[in-house]
Amino acid sequence: NERYKVAIQKKWDELKSSLEKVNQAFISQDETSALLEDLSKEAQQTGVKILSLEPPSPAKGSLSGSYSPLSIEIKASAGTHELGKFLSSLETDATFFRVKDLRIAANSQSERKHEISLSLEAYKREK
């Protein structure tokens, strides 16, 4: 039945396209440096001053299948609005990020800039 073949092929092509879009939310093994650069640029654009950015390290308990989590630790200084913009930009970024931990402390040297500790997780595609 030619009509069914065409319908099945169309659905197959749609699913492949959808899977490709989802896969773009995960980094490949050689994109780690670019990921850190992007985080740094995004922080700068939103007014968050990164004090330290620990490179990704494999998280405990990798996922089954072809993805593994990467933990990223960020220490920063930012006001609440800047931090909000930064987190919003991460949420809408093409790369999938999960906020594992967020701590905000008062900064004795500046009332408007808080000390931020942010623990993120990105996911890496295994080859």
Structure tokens at 21: 């879009």
Beta bridge partner(s), residue 78? 114
pLDDT bracket for residue 94 (50, 70, 90): confident
More confident residue, 63 or 89: 89
34-76 pLDDT, tens digit per residue, is: 888 889 999 999 999 999 998 766 555 555 557 788 889 999 9
Q: Please give the share of the chain, as a percent, with pLDDT higher than 70.
A: 90
Contacts for 68 with CB less than 8 Å, ≥ 6 apart? 58, 59, 62, 123, 124, 126
Q: Where are the beta strands (DSSP E) in 2-48?
A: none
What is the average per-residue pLDDT within 98-106? Answer: 94
More confident residue, 27 or 109: 109
The per-residue pLDDT for 55 is: 75
Helical pair 32-46 and 80-92, crossing angle rounded to 10 deg: 140
Q: Which of 6-15, 54-63, 76-85, 90-99 has the highest mean pLDDT?
A: 76-85
Contacts for 104 with CB less than 8 Å, ≥ 6 apart? 80, 83, 114, 115, 116
Q: Measuring CA to CA, which residue among 114, 101, 120 is closest to residue 36? A: 120
Tell me whether residue 36 is exposed, middle or buried, using C-beta atoms within 10 angstroms of its C-beta: 0 to 12, 13 to 18, 19 or more: middle
The per-residue pLDDT for 116 is: 96
More confident residue, 111 or 114: 114
Minimum mean pLDDT range among 22-31, 78-87, 107-116:
22-31
